[in-house]
Amino acid sequence: MTPDPAAASAPAPARRAPAGAAVLRADVTEAIRDAVVEELAAVGFSKMSIEGIARRAGVGKTAVYRRWKSKLHLVLDLVGAFAVDGLPVPATGSLYGDVRALLEVMSHVLRHPVASAVIPDLLVEAARNPEIADAVRGALLDGQRRMAEGIVSGAVARGELAEGTDPGRALDLAIGPLYWRQVVVRDEVTGGYLDDLARSVVAGLTATPPTP
């Protein structure tokens, strides 16, 4: 049989998208995220449910599960919106300047409305649930540790800190007081407070430990 030239040159029919490959609407995703914040504020993480989130968002449970496989993954996605992972390590040229820049970033992060609604609840749950603890550690701490490591290594290279200075200790000295004041006590955090805290962190890192 002789092939039809017209048929050979005709464009191939468009392939249909496979069943189940529905496009996730951005407005629905945003409505679900808003509902999570409202649900957390109303009942807390432990009592929060996919059903309650879907009801607040005005969608079916399937719409939630298409995007996240559990409420933990949903909340961690929100946490990722204000995590510092991916931000550049401060490089001001001095230990004080780098610590002060880190504090400025973290203070901004902790002012995020999701932070005040989510982080305290997640930390309580993390103390009881190893899976949540590992997930929270990855979402919240990895980026901060990377920044602390960069700050300490830069200060060591400049001769401002001794070789072997623990970046974890630097992070504890910097973020611990800030978290306590801003999230737990909910007191005002001013530029002057961040200046003083940065000086205290530098003093703590550079102080010579007493001889036992």
pLDDT digits (tens, 9 = 90+) for 183-199: 888 899 999 999 999 99
Alpha-carbon distance of 71 to 50, in angstroms, equals: 6
Task: Report pTM.
Answer: 0.70
Indicate the angle between helix axes 95-110 and 113-126, nearest 10 degrees. Answer: 90
Residues 22-39 pLDDT 10s: 578 889 999 998 898 888
